[in-house]
Amino acid sequence: MTNLILASSLFTLWTGALLAPLAGTPAAPVEAPPQPGAKVSVELYVMSKCPYCAQIMEELGPLLEDLRDHVDFRVGFVGTEVEGRLSAMHGESEVAGNLLEICVQRLFGNALPGFMRCMGRNLRAIPEGWESCAAAVGVDVSAVRTCADSGEGQQLLRESYREASARGVRGSPTLFIGGEKYQGNRSRDSLLMKICAAGDLRAPVCQDLPPIPRVRAVILSDRRCATCQARHWQAFLNRTFENLDLTELDYLDPAGKALHVAAGKPLLPAVVLDASVDALARESTSPVWDQLKAHGDYRVLATGSKFDPTAEICDNGIDDTGDGRADCRDPACKESISCRLEKPGELRLFLMSQCPFAARAVQVLPELMKATGLREVRFHFVVGFENGQMNSLHGSEELAENRRMACVQKNTPKKSLAYVGCRMRNPRDPVWEPCATEAGLNPTTLGSCADGAEGERLLREDARLCALLGIQASPTWFANNRYPFSGIQAEDVAAKYCAHNGKRAACRTLVPRAEREGP
């Protein structure tokens, strides 16, 4: 497709050059191709606390050193500006990190890749300890501090935010090579080949590049599974592997069942690769390799999939396992969403206590409750297990706050909204006691619950519930004990809730909107 688009663009330029003189207007100049050996622009848009940015810099940093005389490297930043104030997804500490990095770029450009790699090895600490990273790459600490603490740093970052927005950059990291957005594999070899090709470089590392190994992959799915979408994994694999041989198989076909057994009976949809991928894994620091599990001659990528093709499907009216008990009559379906007892009017909110999107959802709860007539919204917490240990996406501090919120929800539910709402005004603030006092709670009592066996037990119950319901995202709403949905704005959440509760008096004016937009 890329070749077709390129051919179409060249044809348009060529025909335009021929026809323009006939129309009596001068032909638009055609930009000359890059000269052999010309420098290639490499532009990377980041957030200073983004883990994926740290990963790509581990690949890109050493490469930039090898191509120092052949590449113009520049970093831009993704963030927002509201009423003149700069903000970032990961909070004020990330803004501070952005300011430091953009000032290093402004004052000591060649040192920036090394500085970013050093900072990226302890993302949660940013901006603390940045001075040691500056010293490690030979940067004047005083000069960088003066820039970052002044209007100069603010203006540099403001202009960078605006530039990213103007270029349509929304995600982090976003990479442009030779002015073109790069969406391929982020391994060193793939990046090197793209940079070398973009400028026809004469750098020694660009000579006699070995071919990229061909990787064979299969997306194994099941046509009975309504949520088993392969499109996401198609895009992921095409981004990850430059030289890919990709096929799709269905579990219900004989070849699909055979592969399912040979690959260790993974949940579906599954991404199954052959052992040829091992050659790439040894040469890359990408975290994708940590998610591969070996089963004989195959490597299975952990995808977080939930569908077991050998189990009873709980809502298709068929006895899938042949035990004479279909759907909800099968014991395996007892706690599935489709077999849960409906509780009209109920609403729960699953969240992570340091999630910025959940914070926005919590702040609109009073408006939502007024619009729907709800008197209570119960909180649950999105947690999981790794190697037998409970974990939370944003680390141990989030896990501790989850336990405190869970204790409030269990023991003093009428004060839960006040406490959670106060904490979510500034989710990263480690000082929680003032919010406990504001909500009318005893900080000592709350701390004892959260740090003891009860707090651990409550979170384990939520972890089990999240696993049963397949809830992994924060925030996720759960209406009537059966219907999960997403949303942040009060109006949107109210419409989706009322789609399942149209008989509630407060919902009657919202039902038409809900039916129009869908749950």
Three-state helix/strand/coil letters over 226-283: CCCCCHHHHHHHHHHCCCEEEEEEECCCHHHHHHHHHCCCCCECEEEEECCHHHHHCC
* Structure confidence by residue, pLDDT tens digits, 371-391: 999 999 999 999 987 777 888
Measured CA to CA, the distance from residue 317 to residue 143 in angstroms comes to 70
How many residues belong to the chain? 519
Contact residues for 8 (Cβ-Cβ < 8 A; gap 6+): none
Three-state helix/strand/coil letters over 188-228: HHHHHHHHHHHHCCCCHHHCCCCCCCCEEEEEEECCCCCCC
Q: What is the mean pLDDT of residues 440-450?
A: 97
Task: Tell me if domain 215-301 and domain 347-517 are identical in fold.
Answer: yes
So what's the pLDDT on residue 510?
A: 59
Q: What is the mean pLDDT of residues 36-42?
A: 79
User: Across-strand partners of 247?
Assistant: 218
Residue 251, pLDDT above cutoff 90: yes
So what's the pLDDT on residue 303?
A: 83
Residue 29, pLDDT above cutoff 80: no
* Structure confidence by residue, pLDDT tens digits, 144-168: 999 999 999 999 999 999 999 999 9
Residue 281, pLDDT above cutoff 70: no
Query: Which of 221, 232, 299 lies closest to 267, judged by CA?
Result: 221
Measured CA to CA, the distance from residue 124 to residue 416 in angstroms comes to 28
* Structure confidence by residue, pLDDT tens digits, 387-429: 778 888 888 999 999 999 999 999 999 999 999 999 999 999 9
So what's the pLDDT on residue 287?
A: 59
Architecture of domain 215-301: 3-Layer(aba) Sandwich (3.40)
User: Across-strand partners of 295?
Assistant: 298
Query: Which of 388, 349, 257, 234 lies closest to 303, judged by CA?
Result: 234
So what's the pLDDT on residue 346?
A: 97
Question: Is the pTM here over 0.75, yes or no?
Answer: no
Query: Which of 216, 156, 196, 198 lies closest to 66, judged by CA?
Result: 196
So what's the pLDDT on residue 12?
A: 32
Is pLDDT larger for residue 518 or for residue 501?
A: 501
So what's the pLDDT on residue 266?
A: 94
So what's the pLDDT on residue 517?
A: 31
Residue 31, pLDDT above cutoff 60: no
CATH for 347-517, options being 3.90.420.10, 3.10.20.30, 3.40.30.10, 3.30.300.20: 3.40.30.10
So what's the pLDDT on residue 63?
A: 93
So what's the pLDDT on residue 284?
A: 55
* Structure confidence by residue, pLDDT tens digits, 328-348: 999 988 888 889 999 999 999
Which superfamily is assigned to 40-206 in CATH?
Glutaredoxin (3.40.30.10)
Alpha carbon 223 to chain centroid, angstroms: 27
* Structure confidence by residue, pLDDT tens digits, 290-313: 788 999 999 998 887 888 999 999
Domain ranges of the chain: 40-206, 215-301, 347-517
Alpha carbon 163 to chain centroid, angstroms: 22
Q: Report the phi/psi class of residue 414: left, alpha or beta, with left for phi > 0 and alpha for psi in -120 to 50.
A: alpha
Residue 277, pLDDT above cutoff 90: no
Alpha carbon 254 to chain centroid, angstroms: 35
H/E stretch holding 117 reads helix 112-120
Measured CA to CA, the distance from residue 369 to residue 309 in angstroms comes to 40
* Residue pointed to by tokens 């540099």: 156
Choose the most confident range, by mean pLDDT, from 31-40, 196-205, 497-506: 497-506
Lowest-pLDDT choice from 40-54, 230-244, 261-275: 230-244
* Cβ count within 10 A of residue 356: 17
* Structure confidence by residue, pLDDT tens digits, 41-99: 999 999 999 999 999 999 999 999 999 899 999 999 999 998 889 999 999 999 999 99
Residue 490, pLDDT above cutoff 80: yes
Amino acid in position 5: I
| Average pLDDT of the residues of the chain | 87
Query: Which of 226, 218, 228, 269 lies closest to 248, judged by CA?
Result: 218
* Cβ count within 10 A of residue 339: 16
Contact 254, 293 (CB under 8 A): no
* Structure confidence by residue, pLDDT tens digits, 178-233: 999 998 778 888 899 889 988 877 888 898 887 877 889 999 999 998 888 888 88
